Structures are given as structure tokens and as C-alpha cells.
Amino acid sequence: MIIYPTMELLNGHCVSLDRGRLDEPSVWHVNIVETARGFAAAGAEWMHLTDFDAVEGRDVNAGLIEEIIRTVGIPVQLGGGMRGRERIERWIDRGAGRIVVGSLAAREPHLVRELAKYHPDQIVLAVDVWQGQVVTEDRRETGAFSPEGYIEAFGDAPFAGIIVTDIDSDIDRLEASMSLISRLAGVARAPVIASGVVRSTDDIARLKYIPNIAGALVGRALLSKTVDLGEALRVAQPAPEPVAGFQ
């Protein structure tokens, strides 16, 4: 299972959001580029970035994101404000390893399927769930889609992955969030990446035994130091196969 150390950007700062609310961000006072390089130094294979300014139509973090892509030394999975082919392909041209598509998939599913076919292993579908329904329009509007039906509607579109986020998740209902992600992993044909459910390395150990869970985004837990990245990467590795002894 791949651990994606994660940073979310807002006004040039690294932030975390409580249930997707942009008006109440928690700001982490870290050097963003150096922190990203630290992820690579610790052994991460990928990292994940979300640009919340781009969600609001602002491109203020573009230079920072480009610097991370150029210098961090591992591929970057990038999301936020990917509302059309031009922007998606521009970031692929700038070196982003994967692009995460959310609201565009609800508005123009045929375009997103086409992009997934044209850019193999580079388009990731984001499925954000709030109170049992898929949220569209960058987490502001609850749509009429059940998450199972939404995923199944894309059939065998060749996504690099499907990120499932339970926006309503909190520490008191982690079991419900795990159950949701497990259920959706069972209907998805692309590998599922869990988001918002890792508070400790025990959560990683649980996720890696759920069929079709290929990765987990880990952000707040790394920044708050409740999870050590090196330990998380170790726990995420598959258990060694038993070897028969021979006399």
C-alpha cells in the first residue's frame, strides 16, 4: 500500500481543513518545500498536494507547486480546481505525476473518461462523500449521487486511482468512515486511495488488509507528529509471505 504524505495549500501556507471548511483552516508553520523534500528523504514514493486557492479560482500557488514538482524528487499527485482539459494538461506538461479530478467528473463524465484513456495512469477520480451522498462543486453542493452508483457509472474507465474522502469523518465515527471506504473499494474497478481516516499507524495497518485499497493520504497526522512517516511506510509494506522450512 502506498502512503501519500499530503499537504494542502491555501494563500501560500500549508493548512488542514475541518470537514472541508475553507473558512476555518488550521495553519501549519512549516517550510513547504523543505517539508516535501523531507517526505522523499524518508522514503515516500509519492506525495499529494491539494491547491485550495485553485478551487476558488486563484492561481497564487502555481510557482510553489512547480518548485515542489521540480525539486522534491518524487512524483506529485495534484488536485484542486481542475475544471477543464486545458488546466489538467497544462499541469501534466509541467511535470505533475497525476491529476486529481473531482467536480469536473460530475459535470463532464465523458471528458474525464477520455482524459483517463489519453493519459494512462495519470488521472485520479476524487469521490467526496457527505452524509451518504457525493459532494460536487468543490465540496459545496451535495449531488443526487450515491457514492456506489457514482463509482459504478464510470465502469472500467482506466483511472490511476479513486480517492475516497468521507468529509463528515471525525475521530468519534472512524469506524463508519472505514466501513464506507471498504464498501466503495468493493465496487470500484480502479484501486482506491483512502483519505481522511489515518490518525495513527494502527489505521494504516487496518487499511492495508482491505481488498482494493492501494494507498492512503496522510496529512494532518504527519504534520502534528502523531504519525511518523518512516513508521507509516514500514507498516504499509505487505507482510512477508511465510516460507516453508526444509529439512
Instruction: Write phi, then psi, for 212 (nearest 5 degrees).
Output: 70, 10
Angstrom distance (rounded) from CA 190 to CA 230:
27
Return the CA Rg of the chain.
17
Q: What is the largest CA-CA distance in the chain?
A: 67
Q: Which of 214, 182, 219, 183 is nearest to 198 (CA)?
A: 219
Q: Residue 182: pLDDT above 80? A: yes
Q: What interhelical angle do 62-71 and 32-41 show, nearest 10? A: 30
Q: What is the CATH number of domain 2-236?
A: 3.20.20.70
Domain residue spans in the chain? 2-236
Angstrom distance (rounded) from CA 247 to CA 235:
32
Mean pLDDT of 7-29: 85
Q: Residue 246: pLDDT above 80? A: no
Mean pLDDT of 6-13: 95
Which three cell numbers mark 137? 462543486
SS3 content of the chain, % helix, strand, coil (to 5): 35, 25, 40
pLDDT, residue 83, reads: 93
Catalytic positions, written as ranges:
8, 128
pLDDT grade for 142, boundaries at 50, 70 and 90:
low
Q: Taking the CA atoms of 53, 54, 57 and 59 in sequence, report the sign of the dihedral they define.
A: positive
Angstrom distance (rounded) from CA 187 to CA 203:
21
pLDDT, residue 218, reads: 97
Half-sphere exposure of 74 (CA within 13 A, CB side): 22
Half-sphere exposure of 41 (CA within 13 A, CB side): 7
pLDDT, residue 132, reads: 87
CA angle (233 as vertex; 231, 204 as ends), nearest 5: 85
CB 222 within 8 A of CB 191: no
Per-residue model confidence as pLDDT tens digits over 159-173 = 999 999 998 765 557
